[in-house]
Amino acid sequence: MEPTSGVTAYYALGFGGQLIEVVPSLHLLIVVSSNVDETRPGAPVVGPDEVQHLVDAIVPIIKTHPTR
């Protein structure tokens, strides 16, 4: 559990930048799937910080434009 843009969120991180994040108060589920081969030398690494920046960009938009 971690606060995300002022709301409580639950998340699970997986290999290569996979992410599931749930924001119950906004009825929001965010799923990030990527295909990064972290076993290849020099391959880009998608870490939790990069994925969290994406989530932090999405949540404020949903908060200001709620669904009906």
Q: What is the pLDDT of residue 15?
A: 75
- Take residue 35 and report the two structure tokens written for it: 């295909």
**Tens digit of each residue's pLDDT, the chain (68 residues):** 555 677 888 888 887 778 888 889 888 898 888 777 777 787 776 666 777 787 788 888 888 876 65
Q: Which residue type occupies 9?
A: A
In this structure, the dihedral spanned by the alpha carbons of residues 40, 44, 47 and 51, taken in order and rounded to 10 degrees, is -130
- The pTM is what? 0.68
Q: What is the pLDDT of residue 53?
A: 81
Structural domain tally of the chain?
A: 1
| Rounded Cα–Cα distance for residues 58 and 36 (Å) | 22
First to last CA, the chain: 26
> What is the domain extent for residue 28?
2-64
